[in-house]
Amino acid sequence: MADVTPIGSARPAALEFFAGIGLARLGLERAGFRVSWANDYEPDKRAMYTAQFADRPGEHTFALGDVGRVEVDDLPVDAALAWASSPCTDLSLAGGRAGLAGAESGSFWHVVRLLTGLCERRPRVVVLENVVGLATSHGGDDLTAAITAFNGLGYSVDVLALDARRFLPQSRPRLFLVGAQQPPADTPEANPDLRPDWLQWVYGDTSLRTHRAPLPAPPAPLTGGLGDVVEQVPLDDGRWWDEARTEAFVASLSPTQRSRVAALRRAPGVRYRTAYRRTRHGVAVWEVRPDDIAGCLRTARGGSSKQAVVRLGGSRLRVRWMTPREYARLMGAGDYDLSAARTNQALFGFGDAVAVPVVEWLARHYLMPLVRGELAPRSPAQPAAASLSFDGGSAAWASAYK
């Protein structure tokens, strides 16, 4: 407990846009921030958020509703950080690829509108978290537009790719745009693990004001650990599928998958794998991951997005849906309060969130040092893109994406 900082007014305040069930808040507060305001439009997510945090009156404000209805005067004026986990529906490979023009991902422009209205009171640091598909959406134009918008508000932007698999047994790559009013010195050779080759074009675009902060190396990607987070559900529990359903599961596997599963069944001991139902050539089939890592958790809209747990060993195979507690553990929130949450409510909330230890790592090693001015500032001799005047221009930017 030595590294736990008590919550109090001395902690830098943070705004949490698109808060969901509050996993970004968990990560930020573990790193020393105090989230004083949050917004989301889904009542089910707010219900879970409220049950988890049980804030006392005056400690925290949760604005339930469309971010488009939030006004500047609704926001606290002392925030040092603004975090926005903008909806990824229009940007992920599973979505319609409408990009920032989409009805959901386009809500990013309302965050820009609100930051514009804060003027000199806007936070010193901003973060936009999204799926890695943002980097290629509309040929990179959406990422360019987001960076340009932050530039116009006075922020230099760093772009990082970080997978939850470096902290948890779940493959969940995400993109993070970190905007700083007082950016650190640009370090071109910094952290190739965080800024892979496919992101380097951002820093080569001279129309953008960007920086690359030298950060500690993140942990290496995990190669296992799923078995450690799986709940030990008794084999006579009704959540395990019956024989007919299990046989249909096996019958849907490809020959390669079936051979792999058969080998695991014969092996000594018990192993766990995860499986997704996918459509191949118009036919619904199951696919089992070959490793001890969960696939990316998704929102539970329909059976195809839900993840199943496969238990293998002793010549037996059992299958069931993943539980809410397993979702919570795979997001780094194993002790999350699920006492009042319905199963699908919990699966949706966790599948539509950001992993807690990813946020905590980024906040400890980058966001808090930025807020406290502990990173070496950009030298006056370093080139930067021309300052952009964005105040008052949010309507023009938003209209370009309608």
Domain end among 322, 345, 362: 322
Do residues 205 and 144 touch, judged by C-beta distance below 8 A?
Answer: yes
Predicted local confidence at residue 138, as pLDDT:
85
Q: Which of 21, 82, 88, 362 is catalytic?
A: 88
Q: How many domains does the chain have?
A: 2
pLDDT tens digits for 16-56? 999 999 999 999 999 999 999 999 999 999 999 999 998 98
In the three-class reduction of DSSP (H, G, I as helix; E, B as strand; rest coil), residue 353 is classed as: coil
Q: Mean pLDDT lowest for which of 110-124, 209-223, 271-285, 382-396?
A: 382-396
CATH number of the structural domain spanning residue 175? 3.40.50.150
What is the model's pLDDT at position 160?
98
- How does residue 185 score in pLDDT terms, banded at 50, 70 and 90? very high
Tokens of 239: 């959540």
Q: Do 209 and 281 belong to one domain?
A: no
> Does the annotation count 88 as an active-site position?
yes
Query: What is the rounded average pLDDT of the residues 150-154?
Result: 97
Q: Examine residue 372 and state whether it is found in any structural domain, yes or no.
A: yes
- 59: amino acid identity, one letter: E
Q: Is residue 336 part of a domain?
A: no
Q: Does 84 share its domain with 194?
A: yes
- Domain membership of residue 21 as a residue range: 13-222+354-399
Which residues fall within 8 angstroms of residue 285, CB to CB, at 6 or more apart?
252, 253, 254, 277, 278, 279
The Cα–Cα gap between 50 and 398 comes to 32
Within a 10 A sphere around the Cβ of 333, how many other Cβ atoms? 23
Q: Confidence band (pLDDT; 50, 70, 90) for 58?
A: confident
Split at pLDDT 50, 70, 90, the class of 181 is very high
The SS3 call for residue 398 is helix
Assess if residue 313 is contained within a domain. Answer: yes
Please check whether residue 346 lies inside any domain of the structure: no
Tell me the per-residue pLDDT of 348-389, one tens digit each, with 9 for 90 and over. Answer: 999 999 999 999 999 999 999 999 999 977 665 544 443 334
